[in-house]
A = this chain, B = another copy of it.
Amino acid sequence: MRLIEATGATIASQADAINSAELVVVAVARRFYDALPLALLQNKVLVDVSNRDDAVRRRSVLSNAEYLQELVPSARVVKAFNVLSAYLLETGGIQGSKEVPLATDSESARAKVVQTVRDLGFTPVDMGPLRQARHIEDIPLHFFRQWRGAFIVVAVIFLVGYVLNFIKFQLCHNLTKNETWDWSVFKQILMTNFNRNLGVVALTILGAVYMAGIIAAFLQLYRGTKYARFPAWLDRWLRMRKQLGLLMLAMAATHGCMSLGIYHPHHQYDWLFEPPKTVRAEVKVNGTFEVQTVDIWQHHPNWRGEVFLTLGAVTLCLLSILGISSLPSVTDRLTWREFSFIQSKLGWTALVAGFLHNLVLGWDYMLTAYDCYFPTGLQYALYLPLLCFIGKLILLVPPVNRRLVNIRSGLISRPVSQA
């Protein structure tokens, strides 16, 4: 039995190859394991690099590596390398900092494979006994596990916002304002509604990111200790802040781009600009000219337009810095003090700037509920940030703040009763 390569050249007999090898890498699918030359593999260090597919997982709790160990009990099976993709290895897309988890019951085999991982330029991470292969084999199947919760939250809020927008600007507008049904407003369901909703949802999510910390602080104050676990929902919320923040950044950036394309006095935002010159002139209507008045805009922003645009640009600039500091290689270089300054101080500043950006735009609509008595998106967008500010202000009151600092440094701790 001989290994034949594409060139047709004989390289070595399988037996020779295995006998002379220090490590044998088993790179076949699990269903072919029993076709392996098991006798030759006795007493060898076997590196199982396979991945489990869903079909296998349903049939058996055993990982592929444990199954291989059962087939060749005298071998020292090591699970490793399954997280490296052939494609990225070939194109050089992964290097040094890529972590390779490994698991084995043999200390000698572990040392050997750890060394091999390092020699190949990756970072070995020992996960313990071979049983952990079950976990390791699941890693390549992970699909944005940390992102799923955040994505669902953002998607639901976006949809709710979008439907509210639709009810208000397309349905109610027609039901309450017009005598005849006006189809022209339906063209806005793509860009105008979408962009409006992007901004509203981005600000709400940014509020949600900081709200989690506020609630956690109040809970610690109420419980008088930092040693009790947070309820599961709050714990999940706290853990999804990074993902919420990055999804929010994508929305805010898209909102910025789209807004620049439609930022014009004629496009609804007339109160951000100096009033137009209204001219009485002969205007062409159905081929003939009749006297009408026409608005001629000079595109001079008024003070409100200047403030509005500046706040939008500053918010996006701050959020971008937050996003860049979340890149793994950048986070690695920041000290904790720097990281928390960016995520906390700069983040709160961005929340305030975004809040004002919205407030300047929507000032006149803040207290009215026109069209079907619905509040506008410009109002919704402020609810959560406003709650954050109120919560934060309470937490900054000196005695409250002092107590919180003491609880967090472990100096105060009421006997744990809720746990």
Contact A338 B143 (CB under 8 A): yes
A191 touches B (CB below 8 Å): yes
**Which of B188, B289, B300 is A280 in contact with, Cβ under 8 Å?**
B289
Interface pair A284/B289, CB less than 8 Å apart: no
Tell me whether A95 and B93 are in contact (CB under 8 A): no
Residues of B contacting A8 in the complex (Cβ-Cβ under 8 angstroms): 419
Contact with B along A319-349 (1 / 0, CB 8 A): 0110000011111110111110100000000
A153 to chain B, nearest CB (A): 17
Is A261 an interface residue when CB atoms closer than 8 A count as contact?
yes
Contacts A260-B257, A310-B191, A338-B143 known; A99 to B95 CB distance under 8 Å?
yes
The interface size of chain A toward B, counting residues with CB under 8 Å, comes to: 110
A337 surroundings in chain B (CB, below 8 A):
140-143
Chain B residue with the shortest CB-CB distance to A274: B184
- Give chain A interface residues in 79-118, CB to chain B under 8 Å: 83, 85, 87-88, 90-99, 118
A57 at the interface (CB under 8 A from B): no
* Residue A21 at the chain B interface, CB threshold 8 Å: no
Chain B residues whose C-beta falls within 8 Å of the C-beta of A329 in the assembled complex: 97, 327-329, 332
Q: Which of A120-128, A169-177, A202-210, A214-222 contacts B (4 or more CB under 8 A)?
A: A120-128
A313-B257, A335-B140, A335-B141 known; A6 and B300 CB under 8 Å?
A: no
Q: Which residues of B contact A29 (CB under 8 A)?
A: 409-410
Q: Would you call A250 an interface residue if the criterion is a C-beta within 8 Å of the partner chain's C-beta atoms? A: yes
Q: Find out whether the CB atom of A266 lies under 8 angstroms from the CB atom of B298.
A: yes
Q: Does the CB pair A284–B294 fall under 8 Å?
A: no
Nearest residue, chain B, Cβ from A240: B91
- The distance in angstroms between the C-alpha atoms of A242 and B333, with both chains bound, is 15
